Amino acid sequence: MLTLYHAPKSRSSRIVTLLMALDAMSEVDIRLTDIPRQDGSGARDPNNPHPEGKVPLLVTEDGEMIRESNAIMLYLTDRFPSDLAPAVGARGRGAYLSWLFWYGNVLEPAYVHQIAGLSHPALTATFRGMSEAVAYLVSGLQKREFLMGERFSAADLLIASPFLWFPEATPDVPVIRDWVARCGAEPVIAQSEAYDAMAAQDMRLARA
Ligand SMILES: N[C@@H](CCC(=O)N[C@@H](CS)C(=O)NCC(=O)O)C(=O)O
C-alpha cells in the first residue's frame, strides 16, 4: 500500500482531493501529520520521513519517497489512469506535464514573491511575475472550461488550489474567477474539505 503523509488544510490536502477524484483512497494509508504552521501552531512530526519535515510526502510500497505536490500528482495519475490526466503518448500529455511543472516552477514562486513583496531583476528574469503568470493562465483558458479542455483535470486541481484556499488572492480577471468557481464546484473539493475537517478534529482530540 502507498503511504501519504498528510496535514489537514495544507498543500497535502490537494493530494487527498486527487485520491478521492481517482477513487483511490483505499489504495493509500493516510498518516495524519503535524507541521509547523505560519501562525505559530503545530510542530515538526518526528514520524514524518520527509527530509524537511514537510507534507505532502508519498511513500511507495518499496519505500521510495516522492516529494513535491506536482511529482506526487503525476505519479498518482499515471498509477491510477482516469479522465483526470492523459496517459503517456495520449493527446494532451505535453500540455498536462507543462501545466503541472509550470505550477511548481513558475506560478508558486511568482505568487510567493508577490505575497512577500519581493522584486529583483534576477527573480523577474527567472520566474517573470504574477502579471505574466495571469496572462498565461488566461491564454490557457481561452474557449475552454478547464485547462485540459472540457473536463476538470489534475492540472486544474493543482493550479486552482491556492485560489481555493485564499479566494482573495484570485486574480481579478473574470476568466480566472469563473474557472476557479468551476473547480471549486467539483464535488471532490467539498468531500476533501469535509475529510480535512474530520482529520483536524481527530488530531486535536489525540493531542488533548
Ligand atoms: N513545494 C512543496 C511545498 C510543500 C510545503 O511547503 N508544505 C508545507 C505545508 S502547506 C509544509 O509542510 N510546511 C511545514 C514546514 O515548513 O515545516 C510541495 O508543493 O509539495
How high does pLDDT run on average in the chain?
97
Q: Which pLDDT belongs to residue 29?
A: 98
Q: Is the CB of 42 under 6 A from ligand 1?
A: no
pLDDT at 127 over 90: yes
pLDDT band at 112 (very low <50, low <70, confident <90, very high): very high
Q: Is the CB of 69 under 6 A from ligand 1?
A: yes
Q: Is the CB of 53 under 6 A from ligand 1?
A: yes
Q: Is the CB of 13 under 6 A from ligand 1?
A: no
pLDDT mean over 82-98? 98
User: 24 vs 59, 64, 77, 80, 93, CA distance in Å?
Assistant: 15, 19, 10, 7, 21
Cα-to-centroid distance, 150 and ligand 1 (Å): 31
Which positions ≥6 away from 130 have C-beta within 8 Å?
110, 111, 114, 171
Helix, strand, coil shares of the chain, percent, nearest 5, are 55, 10, 35
Query: Per the structure block, which three cell numbers stand in for 150?
Result: 472540457
pLDDT digits (tens, 9 = 90+) for 25-79: 999 999 999 999 999 999 999 999 999 999 999 999 999 999 999 999 999 999 9
